Amino acid sequence: MEKSKAMERDSIATARMLSEALPFIRRYDGAVIVIKLGGHAMSSDQAMDSFARDIVLMRQCNLHPVIVHGGGPMINAMLEKLDIKSDFVNGKRVTDKATVEVVEMVLSGAVNKRIVQAINRQGGKAVGLSGKDADLIVCTQAEGDLGLVGEPVGINAGVIDTLSAGGFIPVIAPLGTGLDGETFNINGDTAAGAIAAGLKADRLLLLTDVAGVKDKDGDVLTDLNAAQVHKLIEEGVIAGGMIPKVQTALDALKQGVRAVVIIDGRKPNACLLELFTTYGSGSMIRA
């Protein structure tokens, strides 16, 4: 009897939650949502399946999710297995010819297809590609002694628009092609920001392994503008690995993305909480 009452309470709570989500579902009808997937959300089959269900639900609600993924730990493991040394400068991988071949094999192969399969298992229609396909991401060589690391200078948004219009969910590996046909490795956040800008996305969601941008007391800042972000960087409150993430956000906002949210990807249903609830999730940065 008690179990039956508990199930009834859960059902009522679920129905109420769905009802309260309706205004947000209507708000995002037809919206392009670019999601950078990395960290905890890729760490286990259970986390991947949960993420995939969220993405399929978003597509069923007529949102247009576009996934850009990383894969640093998987690349590291393969480089170690092949006894190829890999160095980093300011958080970016120095990429020579041997390294970029491994990066492409891992990202476009095992990692990309794992995400595609997870989404398809949940009833979605995911299609995997890299930034090299149809010159989706055109790059120049990034500054510094980083080797074959690319800086996006052009996005062929028509490729993604065509897939989305057909009901497909693009899953994109962060590789690009150079003006002379070279293959470039691109930082995942940078690639996601460039794609979001090229699509003039309504939202760019950056899934991370932290709760969001924090103030000097360690509390998460839920709503920020560009001026506040610059001030926090100057004061040293935003530091370390958070700097490139907020810089990606600022660049995307300058190029027409409506808002960027840095989200804790460790939280179950983090994307749905951000989009379909009043509470939201993580730190939103607006222009």
Q: Are 189 and 197 in contact (CB under 8 A)?
A: no
Domain-located, residue 13: no
* Per annotation, catalytic residue among 38, 39, 70, 212: 39
Per-residue confidence (pLDDT) for residue 266, from 0 to 100: 86
132 given a catalytic annotation: no
> Could you tell me the CATH number of the domain that includes residue 232?
3.40.1160.10
Please report whether residue 18 resides in a domain: no
Which one from 54, 189, 202, 264 is the annotated catalytic residue?
A: 189
Q: Any idea how long the chain is? A: 287
Phi-psi region of 185 (alpha: psi -120 to 50; beta: other; left: phi over 0): beta
DSSP letter, residue 87: -
| Integer Cα distance of 77 and 81 in angstroms | 6
Q: How many distinct structural domains can be found in the chain?
A: 1
Do the Cβ atoms of 260 and 206 come closer than 8 Å? yes
CA distance 118 to 10: 27
Residue 201 included in any domain = yes
List of the chain residues with pLDDT < 70: 1-3, 39-40
Residue spans of beta strands (DSSP E) within the chain: 32-37, 64-69, 88-89, 92-93, 126-130, 137-141, 150-155, 169-173, 175-178, 183-185, 203-208, 223-225, 259-264, 283-286
Q: What is the pLDDT of residue 17?
A: 78
The parent domain of residue 126 ranges over: 29-286
Taking only the tens place, the pLDDT of each residue in 80-135 is: 999 999 888 877 788 999 999 999 999 999 999 999 999 999 999 999 999 999 99
Q: Note the pLDDT of residue 45.
A: 87
In this prediction, residue 1 carries a pLDDT of 58
- Tell whether 268 is covered by a domain: yes
Q: Which position among 38, 71, 245, 264 bears the catalytic label? A: 245
Q: 3-state class of 264 per DSSP?
A: strand
- pTM strictly above 0.75: yes
* 72 tagged catalytic: yes
- 253 is a domain residue: yes
Write the Ramachandran bin of 171: left for phi over 0, alpha for psi from -120 to 50, otherwise beta: beta
Catalytic residue among 38, 70, 71, 72: 72
Any domain includes 48:
yes
Q: Is residue 16 part of a domain?
A: no
Measured between alpha carbons, how far is 25 from 18 in angstroms, rounded to an integer? Answer: 10
Say what the pLDDT of residue 199 is. Answer: 97
Residue 1 counted as domain residue: no
Q: Is 36 a catalytic residue?
A: yes
pLDDT by residue (tens digit) across 135-145? 999 999 999 88
Can you give the pLDDT at residue 3?
63
